[in-house]
């Protein structure tokens, strides 16, 4: 699944720089995660880095974007191919 940031976000700015896929951006009121770019850090790290650094634990799985580990790995491969090209 892609991750999402809940409205408990305090805009502390620690999640955005640790995202290896640049999936996190400032939103209108809180930070947002682009589901098309979020791989839960699969392919980069063992655990999602944004979740690791979030001081208020407001980053959760987004049930609207269910994905298996294999699907996340395929998304990672597609994203990294695009960066190389």
Which CATH number is 44's domain given? 3.30.70.20
Q: Percentage of the chain surpassing pLDDT 90?
A: 93
CA distances in angstroms from 47 to 12, 40, 41, 52, listed in the order given: 20, 7, 6, 8
85 pLDDT higher than 50: no
Strands, E, within the chain: which ranges? 3-5, 24-26, 31-33, 59-61
What is the reported pLDDT for 1?
82
**Total structural domains in the chain?**
1
Range of the domain at 43: 3-84
Q: Quote the mean pLDDT of the chain.
A: 94
Q: Supply the pTM of this predicted model.
A: 0.89
Q: Please state the rounded mean pLDDT for residues 12-21.
A: 97
Q: Mean pLDDT over residues 63-71, rounded?
A: 95
- pLDDT score of 83: 55
């Amino acid at each position: 699944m892609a991750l999402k940031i809940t409205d408990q976000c305090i805009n502390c700015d620690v999640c955005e720089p640790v995202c290896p896929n640049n999936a996190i951006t400032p939103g209108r009121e809180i930070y947002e995660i682009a589901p098309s770019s979020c791989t839960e850090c699969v392919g980069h790290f063992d655990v999602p880095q944004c979740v690791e650094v979030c001081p208020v634990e407001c980053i959760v799985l987004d049930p609207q974007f269910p994905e298996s580990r294999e699907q996340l790995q395929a998304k990672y491969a597609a994203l990294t191919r695009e960066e190389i090209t």
